[in-house]
């Protein structure tokens, strides 16, 4: 448990990425409370790393969009957030064990041109794409249960 005293979640798990960087994983209920709990866990992890405030804001927006996407569309009981800071970028991954679904294949709303014609829905994933250096989807099937994993890589500068 962290300094923020989060409750109702699986305690944070310190993990090591495949290339040796320290990361943190937290499993959360698929409910709106997961957004704030995940945000506080992310801030706990990032605070010692002296990450620029604008970068933290981008990470908070990406986290919000990825987590709410699972809550609203994933039809699952829980989700997992993983954060891994590398020298040049921070990776933020959200996993769920729902049916295979790649949100990156969804239609991207056209760029706003006029107030009357602007599409007001479906802004979340396009926002994630634009704030991230890269976004990738994987269907993880090498362990049970199979999972959707969406990873956004956000530049540190």
Partner 1 sequence: MMTELQISNVDGVTRATLQGRLDSGTVDRIELSFTAGIVPVGKPAVVDLTEVTFLASLGIRMLLSTARALDRRGAKLALFGANPAVLEIMETVALTEIVPVLQTETEAVALVTA
- Find the shortest distance in angstroms from Cβ 102 to partner 1: 19
Binding residue (CB under 8 A) for partner 1 from 20, 48, 107, 111: 111
**Contact letters for partner 1, residues 21-60 (x by CB under 8 A):** -----------x--xx----------------xx--xx-x
Length of the chain: 157
- 117 vs 144 by CB, closer to partner 1: 117
Q: Does 97 bind partner 1 (CB under 8 A)?
A: no
Binding residue (CB under 8 A) for partner 1 from 27, 40, 126, 137: 126
Q: Does 113 bind partner 1 (CB under 8 A)?
A: yes
Residue 63: exposure state from Cβ atoms within 10 A (0-12, 13-18, ≥19): buried
Work out whether the CA dihedral 125, 12, 25, 43 comes out positive or negative: positive
> For residue 78, what are the CA distances in angstroms to 65, 133, 143, 154, 157?
16, 27, 17, 24, 32
Which DSSP category does 39 fall into? H
Q: Does 5 bind partner 1 (CB under 8 A)?
A: no
- Find the shortest distance in angstroms from Cβ 12 to partner 1: 21
Q: 91: which residues sit within 8 A by CB, 6+ positions away?
A: 17, 23, 82, 83, 84, 85, 151, 152, 153, 154
Q: Does 107 bind partner 1 (CB under 8 A)?
A: no
Which residue is associated with the tokens 């362990």? 143
Q: Which positions lie near partner 1, rule CB under 8 A? A: 32, 35-36, 53-54, 57-58, 60-61, 64-65, 68, 111-116, 118, 120-121, 123-124, 126-127, 130-131
């Amino acid at each position: 448990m962290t300094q923020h005293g989060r409750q109702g979640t699986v305690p944070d798990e310190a993990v090591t990425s495949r290339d040796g960087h320290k990361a943190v994983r937290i499993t959360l209920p698929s409910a709106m409370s997961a957004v704030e709990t995940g945000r506080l866990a992310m801030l706990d992890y990032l605070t010692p790393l002296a990450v620029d405030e604008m970068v933290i804001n981008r990470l908070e927006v990406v986290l919000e969009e990825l987590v709410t996407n699972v809550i609203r569309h994933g039809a699952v009981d829980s989700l997992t957030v993983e954060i891994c800071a590398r020298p040049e970028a921070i990776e933020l991954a959200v996993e769920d064990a729902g049916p295979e679904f790649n949100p990156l294949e969804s239609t991207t709303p056209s760029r706003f041109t006029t107030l009357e014609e602007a599409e007001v829905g479906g802004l979340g994933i396009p926002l994630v794409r634009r704030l991230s250096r890269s976004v990738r989807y994987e269907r993880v099937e090498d362990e049970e249960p199979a999972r959707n994993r969406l990873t956004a890589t956000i530049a540190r500068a």
